Amino acid sequence: MDINSCWVAMTYKKGEAKGEIAPGEKRYVVIALGYGKNQGVRHKSKTIADVSDYTNGDPDWYKAGLEAALLAPTAMNQQKFKFKKAGDKIEAKAGLGFYTKMDLGIAKCHFEIGSGKDHTIWA
């Protein structure tokens, strides 16, 4: 559909965001959707070695999951998460900073989709 999108956490006016919020809920991020003038630009990304303990002897599903996690949108494009393999399970932890726990949840979702399996131990 060639729709452009962007997760926005800190650089929008909360009072101008559209959409209903139920009593007791809080809006943390918004997603902008539309047709851009272009397809955007690739953001700088960390490497698999920066965010994990991956070695060449690890299974293909682990590498595929990590590659997918690196494509996940993160606040401020900082990718402050770490993955560690523990047998056939994965531990995933958030770093320090704004929205890192939310970023970790998004990265874990991308990891599971990319790996094709449910390997994650939520640490």
- DSSP labels, 46-114: --HHHHB---TTS-HHHHHHHHHHHHS--GGG---EEEEEETTEEEEEE-SSTTHHHHHHHHHHHHHHH
Along the 123 residues of the chain, how does pLDDT read in single tens digits? Answer: 678 877 787 777 777 777 888 999 888 888 888 888 887 777 789 999 999 999 999 999 999 999 999 999 887 789 999 999 988 789 999 999 988 999 999 999 999 999 987 766 654
Same domain, 29 and 56: no
Residues 55, 104, single domain; the answer is yes
Domain extent, residue 29, equals 4-34
Q: What is the pLDDT of residue 2?
A: 75
Report the CATH number that the domain containing residue 84 is assigned in CATH.
3.40.109.30
**Residue 118 near residue 105, CB atoms below 8 Å:** no
CA distance 71 to 5: 14
Q: How many domains does the chain have?
A: 2
60 and 104 belong to one structural domain: yes
Q: Identify the pLDDT of residue 5.
A: 79
Across the strands, what pairs with 81? 94
Tokens standing for residue 78: 């900082």
Element (H, E) at 123: none
